[in-house]
Amino acid sequence: MKSKMYKLSQIEEMVDIINKDLGLSENDLPAYGFDYGNRNSYITVNKDGYSLIAFGHYRNKENQRLLIKTLDINELLFEIFKAATRQEAVKYELEHRIQNQDTRITYFNKHVEILDSLALEKKFVQKLREYYDYLLQPRSA
């Protein structure tokens, strides 16, 4: 069964609804289409699905990196907010740093907490939680 493809304007409405309580700035969120202005990512929609593309500058060249390509609107929304809320989690960790503790613990916990508080599919939040738990496991040399 083919899932419904949403237009960029509809995705923007969904993002605005989810962001209402969070209050991220416009620059923290992706642009819709190729006219991205000051933002550091953008979304495209075509027959192959949704793409979230991030970009930055390195040695005076613009570099683009595909973060996700999916047919699932819920996965796209999760990835948008996963990227957009990272800085909030980093800021929290810096303000609540615990001496002699792996800084990733506070960061990962806060990042998952933020995402879990949003109207996103919980299976994606759980998958990220499991990934973070994996990263924190001790490794043998």
61-103, pLDDT tens digit by residue? 777 788 899 999 999 999 999 999 999 999 999 999 999 999 9
Give the chain's mean pLDDT.
Answer: 91
pLDDT of residue 2: 60
Model confidence pLDDT, tens digit, residues 111-134: 999 999 999 999 999 999 999 999
- Predicted local confidence at residue 67, as pLDDT: 85
Q: Which of 45, 94, 32, 110 is nearest to 73 (CA)?
A: 45
pTM greater than the 0.75 cutoff: yes
Q: Is residue 64 within 8 Å of 76, Cβ to Cβ?
A: no
